[in-house]
């Protein structure tokens, strides 16, 4: 018997070698400079980044999690004025550099996977003035919040968010058009998850609400209930670190008067939130316009039943929109508006621009309705009415 050896050399073809993204390299260099200014102002030796949202932001789309599980980061990033050092175990470092960080100027400190990652992180912080985005066991460090750095997107990120939003809306609408009457919420969520993953979108939050389920539970996910009369499908998805969200509603046959009325009002609230999310406006002023619609249509307390909107970016909830928010809207910020009225939901992701607002989760094969707010008309998703043979 003869034994032949197989060469382990990789990659096997030039097509597998990632092409260096110069725009991404420049983004990382800019972010390193911003954080260097922060370190200098705060008299710090370095910054340890552990949270996936911050890692993705700094690396312009890199992923430091295990199999996309945002609750399980496998690597941290130590920034000093002169270096970007990845702290990782020996079984994940290769994939991390090959797939996420190739040629982007990162160094590596590696330990065996059998050792707790906390030990390496403690070792590099000990005896130095280090800040971190989360608590490091047994080490006294200053914990800092980097959300303010993340919330304004650069042009390359905006393009990636546009593409993600189109793909997410497509998956949502295709699922809503094709499930069978009598399907369970969980079955529909499975179809939606399949369509998202097929487009390399990680499902972060899925909601399938059958027959007015949202009246009782605004934050319901999905269960064994079957869809007989209507269904709301909502999804928030993540790709390259960025997040987008949207909702669509289906009526199985002619919609009831209640569904038409409440969905129409939810859509008007969505249009109001989008229109008044203008660069230079305090969120508090935008909120007042949305609240007036609730009051004008005699549902003044509906906004208390669920969140109305969230800033999105490298987190699905960079910041939640609340009545007394002092946040000022800036060009390059993205918001996921998702108002609800009883069992009716409306939701889309938008971008604040210097010239107005850009709807990102645009409908592609879906009925729309023209909603006029002040001097602007917005085309927003309407009810999809599916006909069934008697």
Q: Residue ranges of the domains in the chain?
A: 14-149, 155-386
155-386 folds as Creatine Amidinohydrolase (3.90.230)
Q: Rounded distance, CA 78 to CA 28, Å?
A: 14
Alpha-carbon distance of 86 to 338, in angstroms, equals 37
Do the beta carbons of residue 253 and residue 229 sit within 8 Å? Answer: yes
Buried b (16+ CB within 10 A) or exposed e, 318-351: bbebeeebebebeebbbbbbbbbbbbbbbbbbbb
Q: Residue 271's closest CA among 354, 374, 182, 180?
A: 374
> Does position 215 have pLDDT exceeding 70, yes or no?
yes
pLDDT digit string, tens, across residues 220-244: 999 999 999 999 999 999 999 999 9
The whole-number pLDDT of residue 12 equals 46
Q: What is the pTM of this model?
A: 0.92
**Cα distances (angstroms) measured from residue 307 to each of 218, 219, 322, 334:** 9, 9, 8, 16
pLDDT at 219: 92
- Please check whether residue 305 is in contact with residue 356, taking contact to mean a CB–CB distance below 8 angstroms: no
In terms of Cβ atoms closer than 10 Å to its own Cβ (0-12, 13-18, 19+), residue 259 is buried
- How sure is the predictor about 66, in pLDDT bands with cuts at 50, 70 and 90? confident
> 14-149 belongs to which homologous superfamily?
Creatinase/prolidase N-terminal domain (3.40.350.10)
pLDDT at 299 over 60: yes
- Say which range, 74-78, 139-143, 157-161, has the weakest mean pLDDT: 139-143
pLDDT for 10-59, tens place per residue?
A: 554 545 556 778 899 999 999 999 999 999 999 999 999 999 999 999 99
Q: Which two tokens stand for residue 286?
A: 């935008």
Confidence of residue 137 (pLDDT cuts 50, 70, 90): confident
Per-residue pLDDT of 156-172, as tens digits, reads 999 999 999 999 999 99
The total number of residues shown for the chain amounts to 390
Predicted confidence at residue 16, as pLDDT, reads 55
pLDDT, mean of residues 139-154: 91
Cα atoms in the 13 Å half-sphere on the side-chain side of 23: 7
Computed over every residue of the chain, the mean pLDDT equals 92
Q: What is the rounded average pLDDT of the residues 68-87?
A: 88
């Amino acid at each position: 018997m003869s034994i032949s050896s197989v060469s382990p050399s990789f990659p096997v073809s030039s097509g597998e070698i990632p092409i260096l993204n110069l725009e991404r390299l420049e983004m990382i260099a800019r972010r390193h400079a911003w954080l260097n200014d922060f370190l200098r102002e705060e008299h710090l030796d370095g910054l340890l980044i552990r949270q996936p949202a911050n890692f993705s932001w700094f690396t312009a789309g890199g992923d430091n999690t295990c199999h996309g599980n945002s609750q399980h980061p496998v690597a941290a990033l130590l920034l000093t004025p002169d270096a970007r050092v990845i702290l990782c175990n020996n079984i994940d470092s290769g994939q991390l550099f090959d797939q996420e960080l190739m040629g982007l100027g990162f160094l590596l400190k590696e330990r065996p996977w059998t050792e707790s990652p906390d030990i390496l992180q403690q070792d590099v912080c000990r005896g130095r003035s280090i800040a971190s985005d989360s608590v490091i066991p047994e080490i006294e460090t200053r914990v800092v919040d980097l959300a303010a750095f993340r919330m304004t997107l650069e042009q390359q990120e905006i393009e990636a968010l546009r593409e993600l939003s189109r793909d997410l809306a497509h998956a949502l609408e295709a699922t809503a058009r094709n499930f069978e009457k009598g399907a369970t919420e969980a079955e529909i969520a499975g179809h939606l998850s399949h369509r998202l993953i097929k487009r390399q979108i990680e499902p972060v939050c899925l909601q399938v609400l059958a027959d007015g389920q949202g009246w009782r539970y605004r934050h319901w996910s999905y269960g064994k209930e079957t869809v007989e009369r209507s269904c709301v499908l909502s999804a928030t998805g993540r790709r390259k670190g960025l997040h987008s969200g949207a909702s669509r509603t289906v009526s199985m046959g002619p919609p009831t008067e209640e569904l038409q009325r409440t969905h129409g009002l939810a859509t008007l609230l969505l249009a109001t939130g989008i229109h008044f999310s203008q660069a230079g406006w305090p969120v508090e002023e935008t909120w007042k316009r949305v609240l007036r619609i609730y009051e004008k249509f005699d549902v003044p307390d509906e906004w208390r039943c669920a969140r109305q909107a969230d800033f999105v970016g490298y987190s699905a909830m960079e910041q939640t929109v609340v009545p007394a928010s002092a946040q000022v809207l800036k060009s390059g910020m993205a918001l996921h508006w998702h108002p609800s009225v009883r069992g009716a939901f409306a939701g889309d992701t938008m971008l604040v621009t210097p010239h107005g607002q850009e709807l990102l989760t645009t409908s592609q094969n879906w009925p729309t309705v023209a909603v006029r707010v002040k001097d602007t008309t917005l085309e927003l998703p309407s009810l999809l009415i599916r006909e069934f043979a008697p």
